[in-house]
């Protein structure tokens, strides 16, 4: 889980909120007893890529919590004003300084417990010169037999890599949808 979001105080007036079902609604919300504001918390999109160079994939070693020191595919929270694919490309640039050509949507993973949806795109690396940003300790290429499976940061990264290495044997890549509860 990258983080949890629980509203404690009203974002309008600062009053401590109450958890209750607003009239006409069907689930608990953070409702302000002061000004009546209802806070809606909805899932966040995490967008990233699976960058490939010949028989190797690019992983980044995280320089930030959570899971600092563990390996991940370049990914992060989608920003306003961008598409999922644009966000995935931006994160790849920010975290790895890698130049890529997008090859299409690959994984849509519902991380229900964290309130997130993770989107990974397959991407072809245009060269092997990387320039990791401050959120990354190291960016490097791994062959399948070198993947640090026990040091991967997130389950969605593991699922995406496992799927990729399975499908690579056939040369056919579909779109993989799965749920983590
Ligand atoms: Zn309020």
Q: 163-174: per-residue pLDDT in tens?
A: 999 999 999 999
**Ligand 1 center–CA 22 separation, angstroms:** 14
What are the structural domains of the chain? 1-41 (2.20.70.10), 44-180 (3.90.79.10)
Which residues are found with C-beta within 5 Å of the ion, ligand 1?
A: 10, 12-13, 15, 32, 34-35, 37
The structure's pTM equals 0.91
* Token pair in block for residue 62: 């995280």
Q: Say if CB 110 and CB 77 are below 8 A apart.
A: no
- C-alpha distances (whole Å) from 108 to each of 39, 75, 95, 159 are 27, 13, 21, 11
pLDDT of 4 > 80? The answer is no
pLDDT at 6: 84
Mean pLDDT of 129-137: 96
Question: How far apart are the C-alpha atoms of 90 and 36, rounded to whole Å?
Answer: 38
Give percent of the chain above pLDDT 90: 95
pLDDT of 81 > 50? The answer is yes
pLDDT of 126 > 70? The answer is yes
| Gyration radius from the chain CA atoms | 19
């Amino acid at each position: 889980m990258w983080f949890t979001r629980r509203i404690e105080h009203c974002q309008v007036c600062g009053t401590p909120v109450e958890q209750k079902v607003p009239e006409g609604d069907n689930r608990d919300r953070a409702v302000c007893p002061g000004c009546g504001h209802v806070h809606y918390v909805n899932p966040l999109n995490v967008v990233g890529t699976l960058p490939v160079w010949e028989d190797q994939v690019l992983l980044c070693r995280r320089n930030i919590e959570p899971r600092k020191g563990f390996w991940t595919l370049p990914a992060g929270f989608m920003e306003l004003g961008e598409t999922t694919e644009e966000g995935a490309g931006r994160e790849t640039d920010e975290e790895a300084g890698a130049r890529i050509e997008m090859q299409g949507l690959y994984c849509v993973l519902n991380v229900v417990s964290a309130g997130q949806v993770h989107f990974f795109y397959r991407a072809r690396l245009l060269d092997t010169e990387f320039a990791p940003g401050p959120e990354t300790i190291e960016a490097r290429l791994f062959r399948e037999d070198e993947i640090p499976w026990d040091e991967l940061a997130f389950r969605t990264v593991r699922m995406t890599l496992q799927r990729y290495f399975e499908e690579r044997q056939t040369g056919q890549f579909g779109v993989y949808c799965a749920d983590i509860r």
